[in-house]
Structure 1
Amino acid sequence: MGAERNRHYIIMTNRPKDPGLAVTERIRAFLETHGGRVSVFADNEDISRLGLTAEEGAGTESARTEPGRTAADRTEPDGRAACMIVLGGDGTMLKAARETAAAGIPLLGVNLGTMGYLAEVEVSALDDALERLVNGDYTVEQRMMLSGSVLRGDGSRETAQIDALNDVTVTRSGPMQVIPLRIRVNGQPLASYGADGIVIATPTGSTGYNLSAGGPIVEPDASLILLTPICPHTLNTRSVVLCDRDEVMVEIGRKQSGGVQEVEISLDGTLLTRLQTGDRIRVKKSERTTSIIKLSEPGFLERLHRKMSE
Structure 2
Amino acid sequence: MKHFFIITNTSKDPELAETYRIKDYLEEHGAEVTLAEQVMVSSDDEKKPRFTSDVPGDAEICVVLGGDGTMLQAAANVIDKNIPIIGVNLGRIGYLAEVDIDDARNAMDRLLANDFEIEERMMLKGVLLQGEDAGKVNHALNDIVIARCSSIQVLNFNIFVNNMPLTQYQADGIILSSPTGSTGYNMSAGGPIVDPSAQILLLTPICPHTINARTIVLSEHDKVTVEIGEGRGGADQIVEATLDGSNRKIMKSGDRIDICASDKVTKIVKLSSESFLNTLRKKLV
Aligned counterpart, 1:30: 25
Asked whether the equivalents of residues 236 and 252 of structure 2 are also in contact (C-alpha less than 8 Å), the reply is yes
1:284 CA drift (Å): 0.8
Q: How does 1:158-307 map to 2 (within 5 A)?
A: 158-307=134-283
Aligned counterpart, 2:65: 87
1:42 CA drift (Å): 5.0
| Counterpart Cα distance in 2 of 1:130 and 1:297 | 17
| Counterpart Cα distance in 2 of 1:70 and 1:104 | 18
| Counterpart Cα distance in 2 of 1:44 and 1:144 | 29
Structure 1 unaligned regions, length at least 5: 46-64
Aligned counterpart, 1:109: 87
What letter matches 1:92 in structure 2? T
Asked whether the equivalents of residues 14 and 43 of structure 1 are also in contact (C-alpha less than 8 Å), the reply is no
Over 3 Å counting, the alpha-carbon distance change for 1:220 and 1:160 in structure 2 is same
Kindly name which structure, 1 or 2, has the bigger radius of gyration based on alpha carbons.
1
1:74 CA drift (Å): 3.7
| Counterpart Cα distance in 2 of 1:194 and 1:262 | 14
| Counterpart Cα distance in 2 of 1:80 and 1:203 | 30
Aligned counterpart, 2:6: 11
Aligned counterpart, 1:51: none
1:19 CA drift (Å): 1.1
| Counterpart Cα distance in 2 of 1:157 and 1:135 | 44
Q: Select between 225-234 and 171-180 the one with higher mean Cα deviation.
A: 171-180
Aligned counterpart, 1:133: 111
| Counterpart Cα distance in 2 of 1:288 and 1:207 | 21
Aligned counterpart, 1:41: 36
1:41 CA drift (Å): 2.0
1:161 CA drift (Å): 0.7
What letter matches 1:191 in structure 2? T
1:193 CA drift (Å): 1.8
Over 3 Å counting, the alpha-carbon distance change for 1:157 and 1:102 in structure 2 is closer
Match of 2:15 among 17, 20, 24: 20
What letter matches 1:200 in structure 2? L
Aligned counterpart, 2:43: none
Over 3 Å counting, the alpha-carbon distance change for 1:157 and 1:93 in structure 2 is closer
1:43 CA drift (Å): 3.0
1:199 CA drift (Å): 0.4
Over 3 Å counting, the alpha-carbon distance change for 1:44 and 1:275 in structure 2 is same
| Counterpart Cα distance in 2 of 1:160 and 1:144 | 19
Asked whether the equivalents of residues 70 and 99 of structure 1 are also in contact (C-alpha less than 8 Å), the reply is no
TM-score of the two chains, using structure 2 as the length reference: 0.93
| Counterpart Cα distance in 1 of 2:58 and 2:119 | 18
| Counterpart Cα distance in 2 of 1:251 and 1:277 | 8
Asked whether the equivalents of residues 55 and 77 of structure 2 are also in contact (C-alpha less than 8 Å), the reply is no
Asked whether the equivalents of residues 15 and 42 of structure 1 are also in contact (C-alpha less than 8 Å), the reply is no
Residues 269-300 of structure 1 show CA distances to partners (whole Å, capped at 9, x for unaligned) of 01421100000011011111111100025321
Aligned counterpart, 2:47: none
Aligned counterpart, 1:99: 77
What is the CA RMSD across the aligned residues, in angstroms? 1.7
Q: Which runs of 4+ in 1 moved over 4 A?
A: none
| Counterpart Cα distance in 2 of 1:265 and 1:138 | 36
Q: Kindly tell me the number of residue pairs found equivalent between the two proteins.
A: 276
Secondary structure of the residue aligned to 1:198 is strand
Q: Percent of aligned pairs with the same residue?
A: 47
Secondary structure of the residue aligned to 2:234 is coil
1:70 CA drift (Å): 4.5
| Counterpart Cα distance in 2 of 1:296 and 1:119 | 12
